[in-house]
Amino acid sequence: MKPYIGAFYKRSFYDTLTPLDSAGGRAGVVTPVSPNAYLSAGLVFENYFHCNSTQYGNCSDVYPEIGLSLAY
């Protein structure tokens, strides 16, 4: 198992609302499950900028992240 850490910036567009920008980070572990496949699991924290909580609810989120990567 190997740890990973990362950061991101995201811009979301909505039909009836103004665009919403966010940034956050992710951290977790990745492990090989076969010579060409990797399984990852971690947590993501995302904070929304210029967020109107009455329009969007919460202005930050924490959620799990699970991934399967195949290489050839």
> What are the start-end ranges of the E strands in the chain?
2-12, 20-34, 37-48, 60-70
Q: What angle do CA 36, 39, 44 make, to 5 degrees?
A: 140
The alpha carbon of residue 11 and the mean position of all alpha carbons in its chain are separated, in whole angstroms, by 13
Tell me the whole-structure pTM to 2 decimals: 0.77
Which pLDDT band, with edges at 50, 70 and 90, does 31 fall under? very high
Q: Which residue has the higher pLDDT, 26 or 16?
A: 26
End-to-end CA distance of the chain: 20
Residue 53 clears pLDDT 80, i.e. is over it: no
Contact 6/25 with Cβ under 8 angstroms?
yes
